[in-house]
Amino acid sequence: MFAKKTLVAAAALLAVAGAAQAESSVKLYGYIEASVGSFEDFNFVDGTTDRATKVESGNMMTSFFGLSGSEDLGGGLKAEFVLESFLAGDTGSEVRNLAGGFWGRGSWVGVSGDFGRVALGQYDNAFFTMGLAYNPFGSSMTFSPSMVSYYSLGGFLAPSLGYDTGWVNSITYETPTLGGFTAALQYAPKETSAGGDAKNNYAVSAAYNAGALSVMGVYTSSGAINSAYFDRQKNWGLGASYDFGAAKLFAQYSVVKRETGGADGKSKFFQIGATVPVTEAGKVMVSYGQTKYDDFYVADGKLKQFSLGYDHSLSKRSGVYAALTSKKLSDFGFEDETANTFAVGLRHAF
């Protein structure tokens, strides 16, 4: 009798555990990439360039790992969370967690349903989403002209974005997809009652996706990250892509404006590019971008960048790539300089 009751109890526990597992889930995932190549970049101190042969991680996409989960709350509602951390595949160290925390790539909790999603915490900013979606090299901080212009060149010299790819302490609302349209609102309070440089951040975006066509527009207004450079940025951008099958075309245009007392600055950026499938597993990527700067550091500086690459999938999760990029700075107060980089790499998603 005791054995029979034990079996019944065990079966009941297994049934409850199975039901709980069906209602909620947690997964570990990530991406790791490393490349070897000859890397050259600008030295803004003396107007020259520096070159070195390196093994680096994150040239095509920054390596990271994460945890995400959801729970079925019933009535069409789900509780969700994401915790993600950047890492360097070449050294094993954590990198780019600029928000100051280990989970610097993303850390939020939210609820979703027929109304869309509401999330609290560090969440991708809409400008970053537009920048990576509408260029052939995605979020590459080396080969993507848009990512280099917005984030990699350095805010001290030109009005690149004064914040990282995600906003901390943010409240984000994303609508459901209605006839191909989606929209999002984002607000990050300054979290202080004192005066000074701290300011609230706002973002609004809208996108339309229908078959081969994708279009997105975004506007952000952000407070000072470093008050020595600006008090507030007001930025807007447009991105579009169309997949013809034989080639997918990308285009992007943005204006980044910074306000600092009586000396305002501005940059205008455009990018065009394409991906061309050449085999079932391989594609060629090409992109050209140009940024024109007009601020109190540079009267009429320009950054031009051309990138060419090839990516070959070895499986659904692994692949190899080779890419080169050439960047040219002109009218920056020193002799015009060109920096060329070439790298081959291996990527794996898990």
Q: pLDDT-derived band of residue 299, with 50, 70 and 90 as boundaries?
A: low
pLDDT value, residue 4: 44
Q: Which whole number is the average pLDDT over 262-290?
A: 93
User: How would you label 78-117 residue by residue, b for 16+ Cβ within 10 Å and e otherwise?
Assistant: bebbbbbbbbbbbeeebbbbebeeebbbbbbebbbeeebb
228-273 residue pLDDT tens:
556 788 899 999 999 999 999 999 999 988 877 666 788 899 999 9
Q: Which whole number is the average pLDDT over 31-54?
A: 87
Stretch among 41-45, 199-203, 282-286, 342-346 having the lowest mean pLDDT: 41-45
Q: Single out the residue of 64, 40, 69 nearest to residue 52, CA to CA.
A: 40
Instruction: Sketch out the chain's domains with CATH numbers.
Output: 28-34+54-349 (2.40.160.10)
pLDDT value, residue 83: 97
Q: Is the pLDDT of residue 20 over 50?
A: no
Encoded tokens for 41:
């970049």
Q: pTM for this structure?
A: 0.86
Top-confidence residue, 323 or 17: 323
C-alpha pair distances (Å), 137 with each of 61, 179, 263, 319, 325: 9, 28, 34, 15, 11
- Per-chain mean pLDDT for the chain: 85
133-160 residue pLDDT tens:
999 999 998 999 999 988 876 544 444 5
Q: Which whole number is the average pLDDT over 182-191?
A: 92
